[in-house]
Structure 1
Amino acid sequence: MNNSIKKIAILLFCAIPMLFTSCLKDQDDVFDSSSSDRLQQTLMHTKDILTGAENGWVMDYYAGIDMAYGGYAFAVKFDELTCTASSERIPEACTSYYKLTTDNGPVLAFDTYNKVLHDMATPSQNNYEGMNADFEFLVLSATPEKIVLKGKKTQNIMYMYPLSVPAETYIRNVRNMVEELVFSTAKGKIGDLDVEAVFDIDNRHVDFTAPDDAMFSYSLPFTYTSTGIRLHSSLGTGDVAFNSFDYDSEKLQLVAMNNAGQTIAMDCFRPDNWRDYATFEGEYTLYTADSRYNVQLVPTEERDAYLMKGLNSKYDILLNYSKGRGALTISTQFIGEENGIQIQLAMLDPDGSYLSWSPQVGLVVSANTKVEGEYIVESNGYEDFVSGGVILWCFQNGDALDGSDVGSFFQSHRSWLMFGNTYLLDGMKKMVKK
């Protein structure tokens, strides 16, 4: 290489760092501060908004993967270090610490135990995963009018709105609305379009359809408010979209207005066989395909379910109350344990030939509208398995035992036999109140 070429190469080599330095300097000049400073400013701005709401915030809190459990109303008030929370499930206020931190953006974390804010994430005997709920949230946006959060565990989008009344007033009104606003369907018009809504009150979802417009189809979770319900997403788009419905208890209607000034009023209906919780308490004769049993339905302490007693002196069957159906439901459930063997209540098909312990299968006990005091037992409508009865089945270390092992177990542990001298109720038909 001659001297001229060497000199050019040296000059280029020396110039490259200067070029990069110049580029970096130009990039830094775009912002007035470092990224860490900007993030810190965002956290301070978020805290100012959180603590700035005089009455605190209502959080539309969506639980479960894909919001399977629907939305619940929480009221949360923040100061510099702590937050005080209550909810429709636990109205008594509880105070704990919270934290604003970073994880590729601002994060609101309720990082010390709070019986309200951790309620739905806490496992229970019948639900070992809890309700797949969050207590750490990415803050997607924050203004004095609305905060948008994203659950770190479920990825569910949730919303916070400033409260215009004290938290205890709002939560009390929500709880009243939960008790009052109970129906299975609603019908009305949006413009000239007939619209029908089918509600799953228990899981807080609603399906909107229009018989004359196949494109009009919305399946949305919702949250109860102090005046009605609020949908997670809008029904429709733009100015003609509806989001919140107020409940008119005198007309039995859900009423909403959109930004275009359109009003929708939907008449609400309950099924004819709907019954309130208290109706089911009492003594019954339970009829199966070839036997009958004297049983008693005893309310649980929470008054959201019943224990069926009388089949066995030691163990009971749990029947949950479905507010949406106005009926009782029997699902697969843990019964007890003996010498490392776990006993599960599983579902039988109507012929007593197959069983399933899927949590989606089950039975429904609903009023017979033609016979006073009689309640029909039938499958819950799950398409993959038609339930017709129940059976006790044995598990060990998470694995189901085979039929011979199950039979041997019950022969040697006769105290487990819940149904006379057997461990199944084949072909459950009806319950008649005494």
Structure 2
Amino acid sequence: MKKYIVLLITISLFFTSCNNSETDYLFEKSINERTAELKSQYTNILTDSENGWIGYYTPNGSVGTTAILFKFDKNGNVVLKSDYDSGNQDRPTTYRIDKTLKIELVFESNTVLHSIYEVNNNDNEGEYVFNIINATADKVLLQSKTDNGYNGQIITELELVPAKASDWDLSTIQAMHSNIQGDPSSPVWRYIAVAGTPIATFSYNSTDRAATFSYTTDGKTTTETVPISVNNTGFCLLKSISINNNTISCFSWNELTKIFENEDINASISYFTKPLAPTDDYLPFLDGNPSIAFGYITSYLGSAPSNSLEANNLLAEINNNLPKGITISRVQLIFNSIYGSYLEYRFAGGKSTEYHNVQVVEDPLNKTIIFQDLGWDSGSTPAVLAKIDAKLMNAAGLYVTRESFTFGGPPNTIYTFTDALTGTFRLTTYAFQ
């Protein structure tokens, strides 16, 4: 009999529940009402900061920070200012606060954030739509909408804090970027020295805002690339590294000596006019060896960070001095062909190739190759090529390095050729044989 009583009670409760026409909300307001309130609250926070907001943005773990300032207004407009590309991508745009799964801050047209996104063929993990995680008058925390955190993926965050009026002057930081990158008159070799003794090479990739250190410990060479953050006085690594028991973290710019210093470990970053350990990579190029060729190809290697500023400037100058529609497409170094050894300059747009015939000799003491002039096929040096040809033909010769990296897509081995006279000209090439 008890089971029937239980059954009747259950049925009674079921019908009582079904007849209840009122809806019980978990929250006092609907999702649409709460969303509208949050959007209004976030808009007020973004627009109320007197001098706008400043944040330091890095799209992934291997790219250094970009300082970006934002000034929002209530009409959906935002002014951006950054230290990216010398400020050339600082375009005003519109924004909106929207909702899909979360409340989002969307930058609606092309800005510096879009430019960062487009680096490396859109493979830079950049973002221009952010989830608003939290917002107060003191801090706005944004997260990349497209980062999901799966499989250990880092979720990119951009923290904004109220800016000061002085923050909008980025000229000092811009100048510091130039100091890190160097100028065309600076040699390509830079070393970190502790108490005057070099312990590692230093190079800087301005596209990724990352510094590369190469050092040797117990006969083993280690190369580390670390993103950096630039400030008004110098720069800091986003993650410190240890080189031969020396912790490398931050460097300050010394305006008097024009070098970066770290007083804590008595370290400096200095230029040298030659490599610490020149290689024998040039030996297969000497007379009597099989034919081999190397080529700088503009379409693949034009943006290689291993090209020196001087090399890039000379190549740009060639293009500026050529007739409209004609550009230099290749600079090739040919060794021991059936026609001998020569430098070859190719053009896109219809101009004939230029050939400079050379004799290759060795400087075994300095480990360089020297090109001796055997004349041009055209009879004389073309004026448009005179400067770059002089760099390759300089009397001290060229240092040759077989590099460990690849670039530009093709799997060909990379060789760099650097002038031994000033150390300011370095050209990146593919090996063809």
Please classify the TM superposition score into its range, dividing by the shorter chain length: 0.5 to 0.7
CA distance in 2, matches of 1:117, 1:224: 18
Among 358, 365, 377, the residue aligned to 2:409: 358
CA distance in 2, matches of 1:244, 1:41: 44
CA distance in 1, matches of 2:407, 2:424: 27
CA distance in 2, matches of 1:69, 1:231: 11
CA distance in 2, matches of 1:288, 1:360: 20
- The residue number in structure 1 matching 2:431 is 388
CA distance in 1, matches of 2:160, 2:201: 26
The Cα shift of 1:12 comes to 3.2
- The residue number in structure 2 matching 1:165 is 165
Residue 49 of structure 2 aligns with an amino acid whose one-letter code is A
Q: Does 1:293 align with 2:339?
A: no
The Cα shift of 1:144 comes to 4.1
- The residue number in structure 2 matching 1:119 is 115
- The residue number in structure 1 matching 2:97 is 100
- The residue number in structure 2 matching 1:86 is 81
The Cα shift of 1:78 comes to 1.0
Deviates more, 1:200-209 or 1:44-53: 200-209
- The residue number in structure 1 matching 2:186 is none
Q: Please list, as runs of the form range in 1=range in 2, the aligned pairs for 1:243-254 lying within 5 A after superposition.
A: 246-250=252-256, 252-253=259-260
> Cα gap change, 1:139/1:218 in structure 2, threshold over 3 Å: closer, same or farther?
farther
Q: Deviations over 1:297-354 (max 9, x none)?
A: xxxxxxxxxxx759961899xxxxxxxxxxxxxxxxxxxxxxxxxxxxxxxxx9xxxx
Residue 158 of structure 2 aligns with an amino acid whose one-letter code is M
Q: Deviations over 1:360-409 (max 9, x none)?
A: 7564545333x458967666xxxxxxx424xxxxxxxxxxxxxxxxxxxx
Q: Deviations over 1:219-246 (max 9, x none)?
A: 642333344335556889xxxx998765
- The residue number in structure 1 matching 2:51 is 55
The Cα shift of 1:200 comes to 3.7
- Say which SS state the counterpart of residue 169 (structure 2) adopts: helix
Q: Is contact 1:85-1:117 (8 Å) kept?
A: no
The Cα shift of 1:109 comes to 0.7
Q: Is contact 2:311-2:425 (8 Å) kept?
A: no
Residue 101 of structure 1 aligns with an amino acid whose one-letter code is D
- Say which SS state the counterpart of residue 70 (structure 1) adopts: coil
Structure 2, unaligned runs of 5 or more: 148-154, 183-189, 218-222, 275-306, 319-327, 355-400
Among 231, 242, 245, the residue aligned to 1:225: 231
- The residue number in structure 2 matching 1:277 is 310
Q: Does 1:142 align with 2:135?
A: yes
> Cα gap change, 1:69/1:206 in structure 2, threshold over 3 Å: closer, same or farther?
same
Structure 1, unaligned runs of 5 or more: 190-194, 257-262, 296-307, 317-349, 380-386, 390-426, 428-434
Q: Is contact 1:90-1:116 (8 Å) kept?
A: no
Q: Deviations over 1:163-208 (max 9, x none)?
A: 22356512x332211111237554679xxxxx97955433222468
> Cα gap change, 1:280/1:149 in structure 2, threshold over 3 Å: closer, same or farther?
same
CA distance in 1, matches of 2:123, 2:64: 14
CA distance in 2, matches of 1:357, 1:181: 24
Residue 85 of structure 1 aligns with an amino acid whose one-letter code is L
The Cα shift of 1:294 comes to 5.6
- Say which SS state the counterpart of residue 358 (structure 1) adopts: coil
> Cα gap change, 1:254/1:158 in structure 2, threshold over 3 Å: closer, same or farther?
farther
CA distance in 2, matches of 1:218, 1:45: 44
- Say which SS state the counterpart of residue 55 (structure 1) adopts: coil
Q: Is contact 1:293-1:311 (8 Å) kept?
A: no
- The residue number in structure 2 matching 1:6 is 4
Q: Is contact 1:222-1:231 (8 Å) kept?
A: yes
- The residue number in structure 2 matching 1:180 is 179
CA distance in 2, matches of 1:220, 1:137: 25
Identity %: 15
Q: Is contact 1:50-1:78 (8 Å) kept?
A: yes
CA distance in 1, matches of 2:249, 2:407: 39
Task: Calculate the TM-score normalised by the size of structure 1.
Answer: 0.52
Q: Does 1:46 align with 2:42?
A: yes
Task: Calculate the TM-score normalised by the size of structure 2.
Answer: 0.52
Q: Does 1:109 align with 2:106?
A: yes
CA distance in 1, matches of 2:248, 2:12: 64
The Cα shift of 1:145 comes to 4.3
